[in-house]
A and B are shown apart, each in its own frame.
Chain A
Amino acid sequence: MKKITMIGVALCATLSFLSAQTPKKPAASQSSAARGKKVYEQYCLTCHQVDGSGVPHLNPPLIKTSFVLGDKAKLIQVILKGMQASEPIDDEYYSNNMPPHNFLKDQEIADVLTYVRRNFGNKASAVTAAEVKTARAKN
């Protein structure tokens, strides 16, 4: 019985995942988000969690926060430079520092941010490698 429920849950998760993915998006940003998922799993998941919910009081959620949905240039800088625990996010403090991820390529940063901005309940525009390149050049 437990197994059946598990299958049900898995199937359900798959179905809802698929249905969440169906709204028409440009093919390019869709494949970018797909690549971004892999980047997310490698570099972001431990702290921000599999569902983007973060860790209460420690690591910020990526669900509909002003940082994730807001100004892309600012968001790109968070990836490039990291973020100190002393900086509040939507009036909440999170205890852990985020290290810089400037070792990621422009395309990888574009991909992972596109993934984050289109998942976990977020519906925001894609980030392009050109935008990352411009932001990186300003540093």
Chain B
Amino acid sequence: MKTNVVLLGCLSLLSASCLADNGDSSAIHRSAGADQANAGLKLPAGFKAQVVAENLGAARHIAVTPLGDIYVKIQSSKPGKAIAVLHPTGSGKTDAVKTFGAYRGTGMVIKDHYLYTSSDEDVYRYQLDDKFEVMYPDQPEKIVTGLINRHQHESKSIALDNAGNIYVNIGAYSNSCQQQDRAKGSKGIPGCPILDSAAGIWQFKADKLNQTYGDGVRYATGLRNVVGLDWNTAQNQLFVMQHGRDGLFDMFPEYYDLQQGNELPAECMYALKKGDNAGWPYIYYDGIQHKKMLSPEYGGDGKKTGGDDAIDPVVAFPAHMAPNGLLFYTGNQFPERYKNGAFIAFHGSWNRQKGQKGYYVVFVPFKDGKPSGNWEVFADNFTGVENIQSPGQAQHRPCGLAQGPDGALYVTDDVKGTVYKISYSGK
């Protein structure tokens, strides 16, 4: 019996690989056997998911208008393909997709009557008409320009407050500010010069054209890279998710074993005030010991603490899961406990060894501006495979989050360009 099962398993895998060689990718997707109820996602009881659109390309951040139209930032530099506009029909599915814009990038936020977007160097805005449709798709206003982009951590993710300011992530073009990036044994550069123009959140005016570094304020520093950020309206404060550093075990096996390399440092949520410093590159946050630790590039050894002037995180998540989207839920559709809580889309890890982690959307309940309970997985099974070993195996990776006018939660996937809508019906 056992042999038969083994042989059968082997045969089906073999046939799958034959199909793969013939380039018939649809057959492979079927063979994964994903549960197509709830668009293949696992959700808490009472929630349902549907696919609003798919095959959009690398769908990054997303915004939904008060009338339910959806704007998705596509990570593509193909002319006319940078932003997708979805106009869902009664069934919720989108038939025709319009696109415009010609720049890579991630940022996508709607605030009042403007759509704000970002390339990897600039921030734009488009005026919206009374139906919240972009009036001049080929003529965006460039509000911020000339931000540093050296490929690594290039996403200029954005958020807006209620006082006319826009907050822009400028990620560090480095892992840990070493003399030689990611090189084994290379020391950290004293007085890390990257902090002057990157590794922080910059604040600009939302309505002023052609601003650059001199016009903005370095609002918070010591943040390696922030892709997911959101303005918490209940708290009137900016919250960000940092992508923590890589390579503690790979580069410093004398201080860290493989397991510690997998589990350190924490992926951190920070609540920011103007002038805050989160400590990169000099420290990292150990979510197991709950301590700020001196980076090995700057004299650390896995035991020495540091960062007396650095803020503590609000929530520490497991390492390397790559938080790409943050959304504070203000809707009325979901049960009361979700109100003002945080959803985080974890893109999923690549630099754990012997099994990756993340690839899900989590929820953290909040009360009075502070977490009121542990984080929990909210939407799972984006990858469509069990025990994922490598990000290339993932059929979908969560990236951006948005809330619809009816209180539904939207999630993008930047592998295939799927947009999911998650609703609560209680059934």
Query: Taking the complex as formed, is B297 at the interface, i.e. its CB lies under 8 A from any CB of chain A?
Result: no
- Whether A8 and B184, one on each chain, are in contact in the complex, defined by CB atoms closer than 8 angstroms, is no
- Whether B9 and A5, one on each chain, are in contact in the complex, defined by CB atoms closer than 8 angstroms, is yes
Residues of B within 8 A of A86 (CB): 150-151
Chain A's closest residue to B151 (CB) is A85
Query: Taking the complex as formed, is B37 at the interface, i.e. its CB lies under 8 A from any CB of chain A?
Result: no
Known contacts A7-B6, A103-B184: A85-B389 contact under CB 8 Å = no
- Greatest chain A CB density within 10 A among B6, B184, B415 is at B6
- Whether A12 and B150, one on each chain, are in contact in the complex, defined by CB atoms closer than 8 angstroms, is no
Total A-B residue contacts, Cβ distance less than 8 Å: 88
CA distance A51 to B350 in the complex (A): 12
CA distance A54 to B415 in the complex (A): 14
Query: Taking the complex as formed, is A124 at the interface, i.e. its CB lies under 8 A from any CB of chain B?
Result: no
Cβ-neighbour of A100 out of B175, B183, B250 (below 8 A): B183
Query: Taking the complex as formed, is A97 at the interface, i.e. its CB lies under 8 A from any CB of chain B?
Result: yes
8 A Cβ contacts from B365-420 to A: 389-393, 415
Cβ-neighbour of B250 out of A46, A56, A96 (below 8 A): A46
Nearest CB in chain B: distance from A130 CB, A = 26
Residues of B within 8 A of A100 (CB): 180, 183
8 A Cβ contacts from A3-39 to B: 4-5, 7-9, 11-12, 15-16
Query: Taking the complex as formed, is A45 at the interface, i.e. its CB lies under 8 A from any CB of chain B?
Result: yes
- Whether A99 and B350, one on each chain, are in contact in the complex, defined by CB atoms closer than 8 angstroms, is no
Residues of B within 8 A of A67 (CB): none
8 A Cβ contacts from B149-204 to A: 150-154, 175, 180-184, 186
Cβ-neighbour of A4 out of B5, B150, B186, B393 (below 8 A): B5
8 A Cβ contacts from A38-93 to B: 45-47, 49-51, 53-59, 61, 82, 85-86, 93
Chain B's closest residue to A15 (CB) is B10
Tier of interface size on chain A: 35 or more
- Whether A99 and B182, one on each chain, are in contact in the complex, defined by CB atoms closer than 8 angstroms, is yes
- Whether A51 and B10, one on each chain, are in contact in the complex, defined by CB atoms closer than 8 angstroms, is no
Cβ-neighbour of A45 out of B150, B154, B183, B353 (below 8 A): B353
CA distance A45 to B250 in the complex (A): 10
Query: Taking the complex as formed, is B30 at the interface, i.e. its CB lies under 8 A from any CB of chain A?
Result: no
- Whether A85 and B150, one on each chain, are in contact in the complex, defined by CB atoms closer than 8 angstroms, is yes
CA distance A118 to B272 in the complex (A): 50
Chain A's closest residue to B397 (CB) is A56
Known contacts A8-B5, A93-B151: A99-B181 contact under CB 8 Å = yes
Nearest CB in chain B: distance from A135 CB, A = 19
Query: Taking the complex as formed, is A98 at the interface, i.e. its CB lies under 8 A from any CB of chain B?
Result: yes
- Whether A96 and B390, one on each chain, are in contact in the complex, defined by CB atoms closer than 8 angstroms, is no
Known contacts A12-B13, A85-B151, A86-B150: A99-B5 contact under CB 8 Å = no
Cβ-neighbour of A56 out of B6, B351, B389, B391 (below 8 A): B391
Nearest CB in chain B: distance from A21 CB, A = 16
Query: Taking the complex as formed, is B210 at the interface, i.e. its CB lies under 8 A from any CB of chain A?
Result: no
Residues of B within 8 A of A61 (CB): 392
Residues of B within 8 A of A95 (CB): 151-154
Interface string of A93-123 (1 = CB under 8 A from B): 1111111100100000000000000000000
| 7 A–B pairs (Cβ distance < 8 Å), ordered by A | A4-B9, A12-B9, A53-B390, A56-B391, A86-B150, A97-B182, A103-B184
Chain B interface residues (CB < 8 Å from chain A): 2, 5-10, 13-14, 17, 58, 75, 150-154, 175, 180-184, 186, 247, 250, 350-351, 353, 389-393, 415
Query: Lowest 9 CB-CB distances: which A-B pairs, in order?
Result: A8-B9, A99-B183, A85-B151, A53-B392, A49-B390, A12-B10, A55-B350, A8-B6, A99-B182
Chain A interface residues (CB < 8 Å from chain B): 4-5, 7-9, 11-12, 15-16, 45-47, 49-51, 53-59, 61, 82, 85-86, 93-100, 103
Give 12 new A-B contacts, CB below 8 A, not counting A4-B5, A93-B151, A96-B182: A4-B6, A5-B9, A7-B6, A8-B6, A9-B13, A15-B10, A51-B389, A53-B393, A82-B183, A85-B151, A86-B151, A97-B181
